[in-house]
Amino acid sequence: MSQAAALAPVDPVALTADLIRCNSVTPLEGGALVLLERLLSEAGFTCTRVDRNGIANLYARWGTRGNGKAFGFNGHTDVVPVGDEAAWRFPPFGAEVDGEWMYGRGATDMKSGVAAFAAAAIDFVRETPPDGAIVLAITGDEEGESTDGTIALLDWMEEVGERIDVCIVGEPTCPEEMGDMMKIGRRGALTAFFEVIGKQGHSAYLHKVINPLPAVALLGHRLSTHVLDEGTDHFDASTCAITTIDTGNPANNVIPARTKMTVNLRFNDTHTGASLTEWLRSEADRVAEETGTQITMTTKLSGESFLTPPGDLSTLVGKAVEAETGRTPTLSTTGGTSDARFVKNHCPVVEFGLVGHRMHQVDERVRISDIEALKRVYTRVLTDYFAD
């Protein structure tokens, strides 16, 4: 037996705990990527830090593409703030274990996922070195603006000629039980910011003012009640939700000069960010003309909708999930955005990870047995992928 084969398997539970103990609230690196770089380098991965604008990112590759294949994992080590620390049962960066659970910020989203695919990749290349490459692209900017994280890694890959053929993003995807859902796409996300401008004056003299509040109410009603579509084969119907209306008027006898409204759209592949922006602009212009107000609008596109059609990649992952959990994962496009929206521009991508309904909460926690099962799923995916 070779020295490499004799090494003890990487424990994904212990690695999860080590990562949780790194305070890596975006944009802090907190030692998480330093820890992973050391571990992966010792296992023979070539590691490159791809930091940009103060954001830490890690690209780790084992092997060379050559005539073989390249399999990728993507994930993040940054986490959201802890909120009220006094409300936590255990210290949020303590990785405390109580029964079958490990507690800590990032326990679910998604330090356990990163630990599982890192452990699977290291053990796999030690025990059955494949003809090809395994790549881990790990960012510290998924929970923030996401402009200098996975995007920076993909930009760097293009610059230096690095490529992967397929990728799993290790986000938590299962709503209730380990293995019950895989993501094969995501809805797009667009936020629109409106400012409605009228003419200020006394509320007793309405003929001398232009009240922006009825205008913003009319615009909000039209946008939020409009049926964008009925859904598609793989997506739910698109939605438009008012998230805030802000006037800041402390007086009850003054018509304000202006008010603001924000709406958030989650959309399927019937639309694009450009087409929805055009619709929003036309509705705003129509209300402005009807009410005599001026309406300005800016938008922020967080990501277009995308779909990896059911096929070889989803079948590969689905069979591995079923073999290790006994469940056939539903193929879904529900939920918010993830970095898969960037990876899909590079190669086919699906998402599979742990049960996610405790992420971002006080007392975020992960079931220890699920971490172990996730490592087994990822190991089986690698085994089956490179066996073909």
Angstrom distances, CA of residue 228 to CA of 124, 237, 305: 47, 7, 14
Q: For residue 6, give both structure tokens.
A: 């004799």
Rounded to whole angstroms, the Cα distance separating 217 from 212 reads: 9
Q: For residue 149, give both structure tokens.
A: 């994280």
Rounded to whole angstroms, the Cα distance separating 137 from 59 reads: 5
Rounded to whole angstroms, the Cα distance separating 309 from 183 reads: 11
Asked if 78 is an active-site residue, the reply is yes
Residue 238 near residue 268, CB atoms below 8 Å: yes
- In angstroms, what is the C-alpha Rg of the chain? 24
The residue whose two tokens read 């599982």 is 116
Nearest to 240 by CA among 255, 225, 254: 225
Tell me: cis bond preceding 261? Omega within 30 of 0 counts.
no
Listed in sequence order, the residues at least 6 apart from 190 whose beta carbon sits closer than 8 Å to its beta carbon are 264, 265, 267, 273, 276, 277, 299, 300, 301, 302
How many CB atoms sit inside 10 A of residue 259's CB? 22
Q: Which of 142, 171, 339, 351 is catalytic?
A: 142
Listed in sequence order, the residues at least 6 apart from 81 whose beta carbon sits closer than 8 Å to its beta carbon are 25
Q: Which of 18, 78, 148, 351 is catalytic?
A: 78
Q: For residue 158, give both structure tokens.
A: 């293009």
Torsion on CA atoms 145, 149, 152, 156, rounded to nearest 10:
180
Residues classed as catalytic: 78, 142
